[in-house]
Structure 1
Amino acid sequence: MALKKSMSVPQGVVLAICTIIGSGLLGLPGLAIEAGGVAAAALSWPLTLMISLPLVVIFLSLSLEVQDSGGVARYAALALGNWAETAVSLIFAFTFMLCIPIGTYMGCIYLQKIFGLPEGAAVWLAFAVLATSTLVNLIGLRPASWINVASALSLVLLVILFVSAQPHLLGAGLNAYEGYIADWNQVSVNSLWTVSAILFWAFLGWENLSFGSGEVAGGRRAIKAIFVIGFILVTAIYAALALVATGAEASGISVHGVSGLLNLVENSPLASLVYGLIILVVLANVNAWVFAASRLIFSAGSARILPGGLGLLAPNGMPRNALIFMLAVYLVLCLALHWKLFTVTQGLMLANQNFIVIYLAVILCYFRFNRSFGARLIALAAVASSGFLVAGFGWTLIVPLVLTAIGYAIDLRRRPDPASVV
């Protein structure tokens, strides 16, 4: 049975904003400055935008040509064969296991600051948020579409409030940008790479729109409108935040670290509203992430990519085993973050690396479907962009490569024995 084409353009744009901009956005400006300095962070925002642009064009093109709920995994199969679909599904599963606790932990650092709790309380807040979201999903309270709308509007309003709290920072940011652009050669390539590898997290999510392209009402024109309008709005949000963060640092206001943006609204009459919106965004985003991840793990269990028990449903129709398994993974990784076994920055970069490896298969699929001169230029630009980011990763590249090998082995094991075929 085919999925219904019931998604309107406004719903698709809201989905794009919710998918691409999450509560992790709140931590990225401060993390970027902390990792490479304010000049490298300022230059890396537009650089990362340019890096992501050819990939957005490719996902738009493939969403028009291959409207399949398999999304990126299906693109990989078309480019390289069925084994690639299994491998990509496995890499996605691993990356979800990593992304959700990192995003939740980043959001809970904000909650810890808002509630005035000790520094170590962030991990317990993360436990509570993840457990509550899992429980909500276990009893079948699927987030309705209005939650996505509320989350998207809250994110947009948050950025507006950060800007309006100290509006002079926009001008300060523009002036600072003029200086950084003029002296761009004073920033090392290594710093630009480091910050871009972190900020790439902000531009992930366009691939997820491919999963729902078959449900868009209005055909090709509607799909194009969702991508174009979504890209314009997302870019505007990021541009405003980058200018404010740059202007704040140039004005002597530190926004370093995951929760650095809170310094913009301290002692402001807007503070209470900002705090309330941050709480709403964190809770809504985690709830949506937990829902999506449980379905991914359930699907992988059903396909025997992961243990088959994860592909079983509870009597109420919920993927109980997948939800409980993923909660255990989330809690372990939150503890690992709390104990500093790895940092938020390291986790972000590992997740981004996995996505870049997946994107290489997507680029190949695009090239197979589009052989025009313009398409080849876009594919070349996407390869160059992905190559710039991949070049700086070291031994951690073994992670997606091992997962790819495991995916190939799983697919090989599931193939019928030629001797048994009559």
Structure 2
Amino acid sequence: MLKSAVSLKRLLSAALLGALAALLTGCNVVTPDHSQSTFDTLGPVAENQLFIFWVIFWAGLVVFIAVEGALLYMVFKFKRRDDLDPKQTHGNTRIEIAWTIAPVIVLIVAAVPTIQGIFYADAGRYVDNNGQSNELLVDVIGHQWWFEFRYPNPNNPGEQIAVANELYVPVGEPVVFLLDSVDVIHSFWVPKLAGKVDMIPNNDNKMWFQAYAPGEFFGQCAEFCGVSHANMRFKVVAVPRPEFDAWLQHQASAAPLPSDPLVAEGKELFRDAGCSGCHAESSIIKLRPDGGRIPGRTGPNLTHIASRLNHLGVYRNSDVPFEDHANGGRQLYVNVDGIPQRLDGQPFVSEAMLQNNLKTWISDPEALKPGNLMARDGEPYIDPANELTEREIDALVAYLLTLK
């Protein structure tokens, strides 16, 4: 019996230590510089939300210590020593008043910064009743399983510029996001810049955040939305305002016309094979006469796909080594969470990796992102008679590589 009790105590101790280790690892307290840690805040909204977390944490810790301390005191102070009944107590007014007031104080301590934080994070402070804002206003639309971002066209207020899975923002400026979904409930989350906000079909939500410094930040859908939910990721690129303006102007421009025969063949095949039915080759989308947003294509916009840092929401390692052969084969790139990054911190697009991944995607999209609409509805994937040949895949890849 004694041996069994000792084994149970050891088992409980091991379980407690395991739970504590899982908690510390899951919260990234030990490594706050992790790419998706909420303990390394790089924007005012995330900073405020982290402050609220610590207020609630310490308030909860005080309550935990007080309650457990009182429990342990009573366990040892009043443990049974003989067969006599303990002294009976019929209430203590002071103690009853104290344990009524104490929780109220704890709740006030937690509630005041929480309510202030809710109002602080509300994007309504930037958006009027007509949906207008003096800040940069970006429409974010959730799809299974990718994010669409639409910016106001700087050259025409009646148009928007659409990009996919890559969100550029100017450093040091609040950016307001209007969140929507075309299918199921998604959730927009950039841990280092702001907490998650749900994207609900036909029920737009709003949020805002601001980046303190230039950099690349990782975001993803934080609401389970289907088989490829884990692949619904995106990247936020914060750059100085002049660089952001130049990027937006470039996105508004048309992709270059093909001159190479293989590229021209790919462009023609892009339309004949039905790719253009789901993917637009122009980033410009007109607004309704009343300024309302119109639905876009089913698939991501591909106007400048070859110049994007992030594709498909799937960070797939390539068999192509990340080396700059012009520098004597010196390795310039490392993998961070499966995403290639330059050792000098600068963004880059590896054409060899992009070519390899585009070919893999076109050949078998289901293997790269299970459950995607392209594999389910695309004519080349559901009708063996229209299956793409190796030559056709190479032509399509060659064409997509020119869309910069």
TM-score by length of 2: 0.22
More strand by percentage: 2
More helix by percentage: 1
> Who wins on radius of gyration, i.e. which is larger?
2
The structure, 1 or 2, with the larger RCO (C-alpha pairs under 8 Å, 6+ apart) is 1
